[in-house]
Amino acid sequence: MAKLYFYYASMNAGKSTVLLQASFNYRERGMNTLLFTAAVDDRAGTGVIASRIGLSAPAQAFAGDTDLFAIISAAHAATTQHCVLVDEAQFLTAAQVWQLARVADDLGIPVLCYGLRTDFLGALFEGSQWLLALADTLSELKAVCDCGRKATMNLRIDARGGAVTTGQQTEIGGNDRYVALCRRHFVAALNGAAPADLGEAR
């Protein structure tokens, strides 16, 4: 049976790289994949999945009102699709996660979603919340804090490297805006520890 998978991690854990490798593995065996990414993340261009190590691939961009089930079912009716892969899955809506569950259940196509679990204040994104609730398989990809512990949190930083503690949940950025930290150092940063002090708090 096809399943809905959620691969989650902090920033810089290689989620996009793993997604692109999975798609390559399917295509290398003559199978078709459908790739999606959030329209709001246009760092590499709208509708492009790009990894920090230089891999990239075109994808269909989704917004909050995109009917993923309709798009996937139409594509599958035209040409058999063997896997659906979704990058930046934290930006999915609850309705879209249910649509992807239907893709697995009703169309029999495995759906692999990759995304952040929590935002810059440690709160769940909508898409992540519903994927954690509905996915058949949950897998954590590992990133490492400067202290050597597993990085599970995403600290938003300002131009001086200090913690940002207010603002919109979504603010697109890379290493210039976010740092992946373990929970201990994340809390220390939110409580005012300077970046240079975090290493001393190990």
- Residues that are catalytic: 88
Pairwise CA distance, residues 144 & 22, whole Å: 22
For 58, phi then psi, to 5°, come to: -70, 150
Angle at 2 between CA 28 and CA 63, to 5 degrees: 80
State how far the Cα of 193 lies from the Cα of 199, in Å rounded to an integer.
10
- CA–CA gap between residue 25 and residue 29 (Å, rounded): 7
Q: Are 158 and 189 in contact (CB under 8 A)?
A: no
